[in-house]
Structure 1
Amino acid sequence: MTMQVPAIGVILPSSNRVVERVTKSILADFPGVDACFSRVPYAGHPPDGYDLDPFLYSAMMLAQAKPRIILWNATRGALLGFEPDRKLCALIERETGIPATTTALETSALLNSLALTRIVLLQQGDAEEGARLSTTFATQGISIVARHDFGINDNFEASSITADEIAHRATDLASHHPDAILIWSTNLDGHPLTGELSKELGIPVFDSAAVGTLAAIRRLPIEDGAAYEERIAFRAVSV
């Protein structure tokens, strides 16, 4: 009898070019873990929540591959105020019987667990979205002390922002002496930069796509839990 490799199921926005790459890179350090992917439309959601039908369809398709957890690896939930993500997870769990989480919820939990409550933010949207994020993160006990708004409305275009531009903006924001820097879009390619930036700036730099992926891995029932926890802790500021 063969042993089934545990897997995370990942739902990502239709226009995302980064999440799958980040997930595969991280899983290179976790050879006993697999990943399955599905997509939902980026556009067409109500302003205060989600069009739930595509999520349910994607979750049901993922459920056929029997992942141990389903992750919505996107940051929209923070813009909505986090509660829609909690409701989305509850719906997915009820319909599939599989635990669910989101990058927005896991990021809030991570920052609070580490007492990193003064952060600076790089986010892809305009100033209005940036202001909304400042408000919604504050409801989670997290203060955005400074931010850079890239002003991008087309989600696909976020993936074309260069590594040099992201690093430059992060370095500028570090002058505000935050507890941490957060790259807040799973379609911003901050994943390869965070390790070196953390060392150079002397503060943690988190990539949102990586935070979601690592949180999902942490939820898996893995035999050598201590070794995996050590890798997760290292990866959190080294990816």
Structure 2
Amino acid sequence: MARTVRLGVIVPSSNTALEPLTSSIISFIQDPNLEITVHYSRFRVTTISLADDANAQFQLDPMLSAAQLLADAEVDVIGWSGTSSGWLGFDKDEILCKAIQDATGIPATSSIIALNELLGKTHAQRLGLVTPYEKNVNDAIRKNYASIGYEITEQREQHLGKTKNTEFGLVSEAQIGDMVAQVAAQNADVVTVYCTNLRGARAAVEWEKKHGITVLDSIATTVWGMLHKVNVHPSAVKGWGAIFELE
């Protein structure tokens, strides 16, 4: 009998990219002994900036409510597929995941918790950052990575200066690819596509081959983190980039 695994994902309400891409990544797991399904719950997020009202969207209570709705489906793990702790502070996701587990009994992870764990596995020396955000958001992200030993120079970051989340989802793969290329040309060995409403996950393999880099796409890192939590080796995912092949 096949093992049934249910993955629960918390989604920013205005995100249009992460659900189809997450489900597509999981569909590439072809294991007759596994039956994996993905289930989603939203909470309200419409803009990204450093303004107080934008940061207030990521308060604990609405995110915990979304997690509790996933718990009703008896999912095996809950993943927060968002990058807000990148500028708010990495401890925000640690606090959220502990609160989810305390409230539901279900293990939890996040895009950024998984991404930061993957950084250690890639032995990154020169990290590059690609986002749709305003420069001051990127600067806050860079500061937080410097605090854990990863300097992102100004030459190794690219941003689009956008704040409206629905606009992030309209950015083409080609435009994201151009940003990745610019960062890779500055000798980055690992490039993170740092927004779960950017459609970069599918092209990661192409960019890795073209530029000789590892791509840490924040949608894909959420999947990687959830699979680890339920003891499904990420190498079960084929064709979505180097992170699923790391030991």
Distance 1:42 1:205 in 2: 26
Q: In the alignment, which residue of structure 2 is the partner of 1:36?
A: 39
Distance 2:187 2:132 in 1: 22
TM-score by length of 1: 0.90
How many matched pairs? 233
1:33 shift after superposition: 1.2
Distance 1:48 1:35 in 2: 27
1:47 shift after superposition: 3.5
Q: In the alignment, which residue of structure 2 is the partner of 1:15?
A: 14
Deviations 1:38-68 (A, max 9, x none): 0011158674783222112111110011111
Mapped contact 1:194–1:238 kept (Cα < 8 A): no
Distance 2:177 2:54 in 1: 33
Distance 2:193 2:43 in 1: 22
Structure 1 pair 229/238, CA: closer, same or farther in 2 (3 Å)? closer
Per mean C-alpha deviation after superposition, the further-off stretch among 130-139 and 228-237 is: 228-237
Q: Does 1:52 align with 2:70?
A: no
1:57-206 to structure 2, matched below 5 A, reads 57-145=65-153, 146-206=156-216
Mapped contact 1:70–1:99 kept (Cα < 8 A): yes
Consecutive unaligned residues of structure 2, counting only runs of 5 or more, are 47-51
Consecutive unaligned residues of structure 1, counting only runs of 5 or more, are 223-227
1:235 shift after superposition: 3.4
Q: What letter corresponds to residue 163 of structure 1 in structure 2?
A: E
Per mean C-alpha deviation after superposition, the further-off stretch among 27-36 and 167-176 is: 27-36
Aligned mate of 1:212, from 206, 213, 222: 222
Structure 1 pair 77/233, CA: closer, same or farther in 2 (3 Å)? farther
1:236 shift after superposition: 3.8
Distance 1:138 1:150 in 2: 22
Deviations 1:123-149 (A, max 9, x none): 111111111111011122222131011
Deviations 1:130-185 (A, max 9, x none): 11111011122222131011101101100111111111111111111112111110
Aligned mate of 1:230, from 225, 230, 235: 235
Distance 2:136 2:234 in 1: 38
Mapped contact 2:44–2:57 kept (Cα < 8 A): no
Mapped contact 1:182–1:205 kept (Cα < 8 A): yes
1:197 shift after superposition: 0.8
- Backbone CA RMSD of aligned residues: 2.2
Distance 1:151 1:18 in 2: 19
Distance 2:159 2:149 in 1: 21
Structure 1 pair 49/111, CA: closer, same or farther in 2 (3 Å)? farther
Distance 1:204 1:154 in 2: 28
Give the fraction of aligned pairs with identical amino acids, expressed as a percent. Answer: 27
Structure 1 pair 229/170, CA: closer, same or farther in 2 (3 Å)? closer
